[in-house]
Amino acid sequence: MKRFNGGYLITEGLTAIVSHGLMSFVAICIIVACLIIMGSFSLVAVNINYNLGLLEDKNEFLAYIDESLDDDVARGLQSDIEAVDNVRSVTFISRTEAKESYIADKEDSALYEDLPDTVFRNRFSVQVDDIEQMETTIDQVEQVSGIVKVSADLEVAQGFVVARNVLSGISLIMVVVLSIVSVFIVYNTIRLATFHRREEIAIMKMCGATNGFVCWPFVIEGLVIGLAGGLIAFALQWAIYELIGKAAESPAASFQFLSLVPFGTMAWSVLGVFCLAGFSIGVGGSLLSIRKFLNV
C-alpha cells in the first residue's frame, strides 16, 4: 500500500480532541489522578526500600558465647556460625575488647576501669546479607552449641520490611485497578468521539477508506490524551514529592530519621513509566473502542 497522508490523520486526531474538549479534559484529569495515585504508592514503596537499604548497613547482631568455654574453643565456633545461611561475615570479640569498647562509650570511663574482664562475655559480631531473613538467621545462630544468647534490634527492620511488603501489594493492586479505570475512561471518550462522527465514518467506508485510515485519527486522539495525562501527572507528582520532602525536613516532622530519595535521581524513570502508562492507556482504550470498525 502507498504511504499514508500523515498530516491529515494527525490533524484529524488533534481536531477531534479540541472538538470534544470537555470529554477529553475529563479523561485527561482522570488519567492524571490515576497515575498520581499509582505513582505516590510506588514512590512511598521506593523510599521504604531505600531506607531499608540504609538500615542494612547496620545489619549486624551479637552472639554471646557460653562463659564456660575457654577462648580457643570459643574462637573455634566461628566456622560453625559462618556455615549458617545468609551470614556475610563473623568477627570474634574477646572479653577484653568488649570491655574496652564498652568503657569507651561511657562519659566517666574512669569509674569502669576496675571492672574485671569476666563481667563481659566473649562474643561474635555477625553480619547478614539480607535483613529480611535476619530473624531466621538469628534462630539458626542460637542453635549453634556454645552460643547462649543473641541480641539484635530487629523491630525497626521488621517494621520496614512489613510496611514495604504491604505497600508493594497495595501498589500492585492500585496499578491494576487504576489502569483498568483509565483504559475504560479513554475507551468511553473515544467511543463518544466515534459516535459523534458515525456518519462521517459511514461515508468514509462507503468511499472505500481502509480500516486503518478510519481508525488512525481515533488512535491518535487516544494517544494524545494518554500522553498528555502522563506528562501532567509527572509534573504534579514531582511538585507533590518536593512539597512532602520540604515538610519532612522541617523540625516539626516526626520522621526525621527517614531519608527521602531525591526526585532528581528518579525523574527519568518516573517520566518513562508515566509516559509508557499514558501511551498504553491511550492506545489501549482507543483500540478497544474502534475494534468494531475493523470488520465492517
Partner 1 sequence: MIRLIDVYKEYENGTKALKGITTRIDDGEFVFLVGASGSGKSTMIRLITGEVAPTHGRLMVNGYNLNSIRQKQIPFMRRTLGVIFQDFRLIEKKTAAENLIFAMQAVDAPPRDIRKRVPYVLDLVGLSGKEQCLPSQMSGGEQQRVAIARALVNNPRMIIADEPTGNLDPERSLEIMLLLERINALGTTILVVTHEKELVDRFSKRVIAIDKGQLINDETGGYYKNETV
CB of 11 or CB of 125, closer to partner 1? 11
- Least separation in angstroms between residue 218's CB and partner 1 is 15
Q: Which residues pair with 151 in a beta bridge?
A: 62
- Least separation in angstroms between residue 17's CB and partner 1 is 17
Q: How far apart are CA 183 and CA 281, in angstroms?
A: 5
- Least separation in angstroms between residue 198's CB and partner 1 is 12
Count the residues of the shown chain that bind partner 1, applying the rule CB under 8 A. Answer: 18
Question: Is 195 among the residues that bind partner 1 (CB under 8 A)?
Answer: no
CA distances from 240 to 194, 246, 253 (A): 36, 10, 17
CB of 191 or CB of 196, closer to partner 1? 196
Write the binding mask 200 to 239 for partner 1: x where contact by CB under 8 A, - elsewhere: x-xxxxxxxxxx-x--------------------------
Please calculate the CA angle 173-174-177 and round it to the nearest 5 degrees.
Answer: 85
Question: Which grid cell is 284?
Answer: 489501549
CB of 216 or CB of 234, closer to partner 1? 216
Q: How far apart are CA 74 and CA 93, in angstroms?
A: 10
CB of 2 or CB of 255, closer to partner 1? 2
Q: How far apart are CA 188 and CA 206, in angstroms?
A: 25
The alpha helices in the chain, defined as continuous H runs, are 6-19, 21-56, 71-76, 78-82, 95-105, 134-143, 154-196, 198-207, 211-249, 263-290
Write the binding mask 3 to 42 for partner 1: x where contact by CB under 8 A, - elsewhere: -xx--x----------------------------------
CB of 21 or CB of 251, closer to partner 1? 21
Residue ranges binding partner 1 (CB under 8 A): 2, 4-5, 8, 199-200, 202-211, 213, 295
